[in-house]
Amino acid sequence: MANYLDISTKSVNAGQGRLPKLRGQIAPTKVVSADTTLYDYESGATVLLGANGLDVTLPAAAAGLNFTVILTADYDTAVCTIVQAAATEDFYGALYGTSQGESAGTDSDVGASANTKITFSSASLRGDRVKLISDGTVWYVEAFAQNTAAITFDN
């Protein structure tokens, strides 16, 4: 089934809101191999973060915007980050991990006020992921990792 719209036209914000997803339509996937900025019309996309040392910048917070970012390779030489468009759009949420021998009860990280960056650290592995949704003011986060130290919330 072909896409019902071309997201490169940036036309999803026209009229009274976003166009609904058609039944059976596959959600968009974006493969990222260089620093990138996401746009509001890409909301709902799964971002496949394919290399080390990449920065992903979210669009300005708007109610209902959501993204999933998945790391497609183990950490190698540099961390990958997710940052918001404005310094006031903090991240709130938590990291959930299998801990691979660590203490999941004490080693997890929790987003809080003044957290302006999410980092896939040197402990990150292929498949670690972050789900983000905005209420129009801040970003709410669910981070899932194989090591509890793999994803951190930073200033």
Q: Residue ranges per domain, the chain?
A: 26-154
What's residue 93's pLDDT? 85
Q: Closest Cα partner for 62 from 83, 41, 33?
A: 41
Q: Which CATH number fits domain 26-154: 3.40.50, 2.60.120, 3.30.410, 2.40.50?
A: 2.60.120
Token pair 């404005």 is found at 86
The separation between the first and the last C-alpha atoms of the chain, rounded to the nearest angstrom, is 43
What's residue 78's pLDDT? 92
Burial of 124 (0-12, 13-18, 19+ CB in 10 A): buried
DSSP string, 34-63: S-EE--GGGTTPEEEE-STT-EEEPPPP-T
What's residue 23's pLDDT? 66
What's residue 50's pLDDT? 82
Q: What is the mean pLDDT of each run of 10 residues along the chain (155 residues)?
A: 44 49 74 94 94 91 96 92 89 76 48 80 93 94 88 85
Q: Closest Cα partner for 91 from 133, 46, 63, 32?
A: 133
What's residue 98's pLDDT? 63
Token pair 């036309």 is found at 11
pTM for this predicted structure: 0.77
